Structure formats: structure tokens, C-alpha cells
Amino acid sequence: MADRLNGYRILILETREEAQFSRLLTDQGADVLQCPMFTIHDALDPAPIEAWIRRAIERPLDDLVLMTGEGLRRLMKVVRRIGLEAEFVGGLARARKFARGPKPGRALREIGLEPQMTTEKPTSEGVAEMLSKLDLRGHRLGLQLYPDKDHGRLTGAITAQGAEVDSVLPYVYDAQVADANIVTAIHEMAQGRIDAIALTSSGQVRRLIDVAKAHHCEDRLRDGLKTTPIASIGPVVSDELQALGLDADIYPANDAFFMKPLISAMATALAKSPPRAAAK
């Protein structure tokens, strides 16, 4: 089944798992244009991260909510640097672990652990809905945050259930570095040099619009998105597109909201017409 995307140029905006997504597409023969929405850096001040890790060991968590796989991997990087891996992983093994979608679950498995529950909707609202069905009174709950979201409502909802929330933000985004690449990608789409754009998070949609507005090329973006097939990994992305008056052209089959089913859907859809990017 290799080379199903041979000759097709695919634009990806994945940041956290860019290398994996690019490799999967390249394995199918695609010419991948990588345009991560952000550059990710460790938190500028490591002291609060280290302190959170030590608290999680000294005052074991009853529950842990992981919002991103990247967050756990960044935490583990600090844990290993300060020499507390066995103690930290041992403490997490005893806590209930909740994952916002499949990516945090994969990161947990990398350290030999499994999530007890995974949200059906990979959103903050989905996390709040999942936790609302549980008794959290008196629980000490660790909450791993990510930087492009205001998590005040989620934290408030958990606190209202009687839990003590101890949050940690282990990484930051640098958006400015990526702006120039995003503008270039917008012009590539508008000129018909992209066969499909693959969207794997709703934040990518919002970021495209924000950058286009800031650089006065929103019309070019909308022109490009009208003529370039849009591949959406799932309903959260599709809903974000619809809110902006756009529709997903390609969608994974059987509600399998992962990279491989998305790539298969792209291969099936794009096979109906020759690569247009190669002709430009």
C-alpha cells in the first residue's frame, strides 16, 4: 500500500507530533510541506516545574489530568534531569490518570502506564464533562496545562467539585518564528501548489486565520482553502471549520480520529484526480 500518495504535495500544520505525521505521509510517497504552527520550548523558568514534580512525589496525587502528550514528555525530561524518574513514575502509577484524547495516552504508555479514562471529545470541555461524573471531593488533582488555551473554566469546574487542583505548565510556544512559514504556505495554497491541507487540531484553524489577518492575506487564505482539499482528523476540527464558513473535504472512516486513518482517507480521496501541485 506504499506510494499511494506519490506525487501529491500535502501541507501539514502539526506541531507536537510533526515528525511522526511527516514520516507516515512520506512513507506513502507524499511530498510533505511542514509548517508547524508554533515552535515549542521548555518553560523559561524550570523552578516551578521542578517544584510541581517534587510535590507530586512528596504529596502523592489522587488524580492526574494530562491535556497533551507533549506536556508529559516535557515533564519527564525534567524528571530525568533531576534524577527522580523512579519516584515520579511510581507515584503516577498509583494515581488515576485521565487523558484528553489519544495523544496523552500514548505518552503514558511510553513510561509503562495506562490512562484509566480518555475523553470522547479531545477538548477542555470534554475533560470537564468526563470529570463531572466522578466524586473528586477531597482529592488532590494534578492538572497538566498547555499554553494556547485559557484553562480558568476547567480549573474552576474541578475546584467546584471539591478537589484541590495543582496545575503545571511545562512548555511554551514561540509563535513569531512560525509566522513567515505560515504566510508562505498560504500563498502556496492560493497558487494551487498544494494538493491537500491536513488539519489535526482546531487550534491550527484559528492560528491560520489569525496569522492571515495579521499579515493582511485573509482573502488569499480563504481562496486557497476553497480550492485546496481540506482533510480534517475529526469533529472538533470540522466544527471549527464550519464556524468559519468552511467544510472538510476529507474525513477518516469509521470515526477513527487518528493520523493513519486520516492518511488513508486522503489517499482514497486524492486518487480520484492527478496531483495538481506537480503541474505548477
pLDDT in tens, 24-63: 899 999 999 988 877 788 999 999 999 999 999 999 999 9
CB hemisphere CA count around 142 (13 angstroms) = 31
Q: What is the pLDDT of residue 278?
A: 53
Whether 92 contacts 248, CB under 8 Å: no
**Average pLDDT, stretch 5-24?**
85
Domains of the chain: 9-38+175-279 (3.40.50.10090), 41-173 (3.40.50.10090)
109 CB neighbour count, 10 Å cutoff: 12
Q: What is the pLDDT of residue 255?
A: 73
Please write the tens of the pLDDT for every residue from 252-266.
987 777 888 999 999
By the 8 A CB rule, do 88 and 65 touch? no
**Within the chain, what is the greatest distance between any pair of CA atoms?**
63
d(CA 160, CA 162): 5
Provide the mean pLDDT of the chain. Answer: 91
Read off the pLDDT of each residue in 158-167 and give the average, rounded to a whole number. 97
At residue 280, the pLDDT reads 52
The three cell numbers of residue 198 are 491536513
